[in-house]
Every structure is written in C-alpha cells, then in structure tokens.
Amino acid sequence: MFRRFRAREVALQLLFQQDQNKTPMPRKALVAFVHQRAQKDPETVAFCLALFDGVLARQAAIDAVLTATAQNWRLTRMLPADRNVLRIGVFELLHAAKFEPIPVILNEAIELARRYGSKDSPAFVNGILDRIAKDRPSPAAPDKVGA
C-alpha cells in the first residue's frame, strides 16, 4: 500500500512541477527523478509514470470534468497542489485500467491534499472527488494505462 501512495506522491510532485513550469522536464531527467524518489522499486516507478503520463495525456478531459464539477471554482483559482491532486484522482476514477476501490482513491487523494495543500484542501478535494465518483462509469471498459 505504501508503494502506491509513494507513487502518487511522486506523480503529484511531477505534475506540480509541470503545472508551474511550462517548459517540460526532459524525459531522462524525469525518469531519473522517479527512480530516485521511488527507491528504484520497479512497481512504484511504473505506477508513478503511468499516473503522470496518463494525467498529461488526458489533461484536457480531466480539467473539463473538474471545471464542470467544481462549481464556482475555476482551475486557475485552485491551489496548484489541490488542482494536481484532483487531476490524479479523476484519472484514477475514470481512466485507470486497474480500478481501485473508490474509498482507496479518495483516502489517498485526501492524504496528499493534507500533506501538500492548505488546511481546507482535504475537505475541498474530498467534496469534488466524491461528486465525480458518484458518476463513475462501470469498470468494464477502462483505458489500458495504469494496468
């Protein structure tokens, strides 16, 4: 369980960096960062990169879901940490090939928000992801990323 949380945490760090610096990090440096932070554990590295790549590949669709769900909140007004925790959560809820139980996704996102956001971040993240989770499609036809 800790491995997957660590992968989510490193993916959040990468997404935060990508969000704040529009010049993408070279892939070789990105992979080296993941290997170092994931203590070279192959499963953790693979899951982290699947999250990062999956969120980036579907960012427009994920952001559209967030915009539609987060009433009275534009993405640009959200704290960068919250915005990227939400992106990971939406990716896992709607696009990951290996569907995690909803409580696991929510708990992990809330913990990331607690560690990296403000004092209000856990409740904010929980509220938005909970609304999205209620409309989650059946896991019959997920994407192949994150298997």
142 within a domain of the structure (yes/no): no
Q: Look at the chain and report how many structural domains it folds into.
A: 1
Instruction: Identify the domain containing residue 70 by its residue range.
Output: 2-134
30 within a domain of the structure (yes/no): yes
First-to-last C-alpha distance (Å) of the chain: 16
pLDDT digits (tens, 9 = 90+) for 17-74: 999 998 989 999 999 999 999 888 899 999 999 999 999 999 999 999 999 999 888 9
139 within a domain of the structure (yes/no): no
**In the predicted model, is pLDDT for residue 142 greater than 50?**
no
pLDDT digits (tens, 9 = 90+) for 81-133: 999 999 999 999 998 877 788 999 999 999 999 999 999 999 999 999 999 99
Tell me, what's the pLDDT at 33?
95
Tell me, what's the pLDDT at 138?
61
110 within a domain of the structure (yes/no): yes
122 within a domain of the structure (yes/no): yes
Region for residue 72 given its phi and psi (left: phi exceeds 0; alpha: psi -120 to 50; beta: otherwise): left
The domain spanning residue 39 has which CATH number? 1.10.940.10
Number of continuous H segments (helices) and E segments (strands) in the chain: 7, 0
79 within a domain of the structure (yes/no): yes
Separation of alpha carbons 88 and 145, rounded Å: 13
